[in-house]
């Protein structure tokens, strides 16, 4: 019997992952569920899943491996809903941006024998400037896959996760929950907060009727960071209150220094120039590293899907 991999949530992330696993249909039976039936049917038409299960409980009960690809605020309610349905040996993977609080609360919900592992799938470099919500089989290929695993996870479960990363052509690297939350707060949440602040200071303010005609690339790129729904962003704000507060305090202090330097006039010009030059160098260095994938071992030339691991957590071997 093929391994049953169930996707709960078939938006951009879930459907893209399903598409990436399409070459392994002989080993994986991909089942999809979404609270919007039309999304699940669309994902099946695309080839992201082999079958659609409209009943959430039936979808969860079939899963050997279950991937929750839901917004942050929907993760815990979904886990509460499906916990009684999960097989004793099931492995649950979730893709929420923030992990610590979610995993702490989930530990009291999930039955014994069921492991919860957090994933942070990072889009490939060529998708960084693509704000389209369309799923793509290559969306995460040749990129990084952050893994947040419990300390008591079994070696077999851990191998299933790393084997999955191999099938997805992603480089796995491991993070502690606190470390993952800190990094995601600064690189995922903070840009969206700053985009919302920019919009608050510009859109629908006096002069916006004329200003909106002149706003161009810098404005468009800055506000395009605001990708999550208000409900999801609000949930992220609550989950990351402490690290976000620290970052905002540091930003506020830097803005105050900038404000003071502007008041000083020409005497601060050299200091501001040095600051801007450092920022530009940091930006360029990161873009080059990101496009080259210089921190990862995955070879970008290898575009063909790799063969299934010889032992996908024991499941491929059973087949």
Residue 104 lies in a domain: yes
* Residue 299 pLDDT greater than 80, yes or no: no
Residue 263 lies in a domain: yes
Looking at the fold, whether 187 and 170 belong to one and the same domain comes out as no
* Token pair listed for 307: 């063969």
Least Cα distance to 185 among 173, 170, 175, 200 occurs for 175
Looking at the fold, whether 188 and 243 belong to one and the same domain comes out as yes
Residue 312 lies in a domain: no
Q: Does the global pTM surpass 0.85?
A: yes
Query: Once rounded to an integer, what is the mean pLDDT over residues 279-287?
Result: 94
Q: CATH number for the domain including 278? A: 1.10.3660.10
Looking at the fold, whether 150 and 101 belong to one and the same domain comes out as yes
Q: CATH number for the domain including 157? A: 3.40.50.720
Least Cα distance to 221 among 200, 254, 194 occurs for 194
Residue 316 lies in a domain: no
Residue 304 lies in a domain: no
Cβ 114 vs Cβ 88: under 8 Å: yes
Strand order in the sheet with 91-94: 51-52, 28-33, 3-8, 65-68, 91-94, 115-121, 143-148, 170-174
Looking at the fold, whether 24 and 150 belong to one and the same domain comes out as yes
Mean pLDDT of the chain: 90
Looking at the fold, whether 132 and 247 belong to one and the same domain comes out as no
Residue 234 lies in a domain: yes
Residues 6 or more apart in contact with residue 222 via CB below 8 angstroms: 194, 195, 198
Q: How confident is the model at residue 295 (pLDDT cuts 50, 70, 90)?
A: low
pLDDT per residue as tens digits for the range 179-219: 999 999 999 999 999 999 999 999 989 999 999 999 999 99
Residue 319 lies in a domain: no
Residue 237 lies in a domain: yes
> What residue numbers bound the domain in which 105 lies?
3-175
Looking at the fold, whether 138 and 88 belong to one and the same domain comes out as yes
Looking at the fold, whether 8 and 84 belong to one and the same domain comes out as yes
Looking at the fold, whether 13 and 137 belong to one and the same domain comes out as yes
pLDDT for the residue 10: 97
Burial of 280: CB neighbours in 10 Å, binned 0-12, 13-18, 19+: exposed
Instruction: Provide the number of structural domains found in the chain.
Output: 2
Query: Once rounded to an integer, what is the mean pLDDT over residues 285-308?
Result: 66
Looking at the fold, whether 140 and 206 belong to one and the same domain comes out as no
Looking at the fold, whether 163 and 21 belong to one and the same domain comes out as yes
């Amino acid at each position: 019997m093929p391994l049953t991999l169930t996707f709960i949530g078939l938006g951009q992330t879930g459907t893209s992952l399903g598409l990436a696993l399409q070459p392994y249909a002989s080993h994986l039976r991909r089942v999809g569920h979404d609270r919007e039936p039309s999304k699940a049917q669309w994902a099946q038409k695309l080839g992201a899943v082999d079958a659609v299960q409209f009943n959430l409980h039936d979808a969860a009960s079939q899963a050997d491996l279950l991937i929750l690809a839901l917004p942050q605020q929907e993760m815990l309610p979904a886990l509460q809903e499906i916990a009684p349905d999960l097989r004793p040996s099931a492995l649950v993977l979730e893709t929420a941006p923030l992990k610590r609080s979610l995993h702490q609360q989930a530990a009291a919900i999930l039955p014994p024998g069921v492991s919860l592992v957090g994933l942070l799938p990072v889009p490939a470099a060529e998708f960084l400037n693509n704000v389209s919500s369309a799923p793509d089989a290559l969306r995460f290929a040749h990129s990084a896959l952050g893994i947040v695993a419990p300390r008591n996870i079994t070696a077999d479960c851990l191998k299933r996760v790393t084997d999955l990363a191999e099938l997805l052509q992603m480089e796995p690297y491991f993070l502690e929950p606190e470390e993952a939350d800190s990094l995601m707060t600064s690189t995922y949440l903070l840009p969206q907060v700053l985009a919302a602040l920019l919009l608050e200071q510009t859109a629908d303010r006096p002069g916006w009727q004329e200003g909106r005609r002149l706003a161009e690339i810098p404005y468009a790129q800055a506000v395009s960071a605001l990708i999550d729904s208000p409900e999801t962003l609000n949930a992220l704000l609550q989950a990351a209150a402490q690290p976000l507060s620290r970052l905002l305090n540091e930003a506020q202090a830097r803005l105050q220094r900038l404000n003071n330097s502007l008041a000083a006039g020409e005497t601060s010009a050299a200091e501001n120039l040095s600051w801007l030059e450092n920022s530009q160098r940091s930006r360029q260095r990161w873009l080059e590293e990101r496009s080259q994938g210089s921190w990862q071992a995955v070879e970008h030339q290898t575009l063909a899907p790799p063969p299934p691991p010889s032992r996908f957590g024991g499941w491929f071997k059973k087949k």
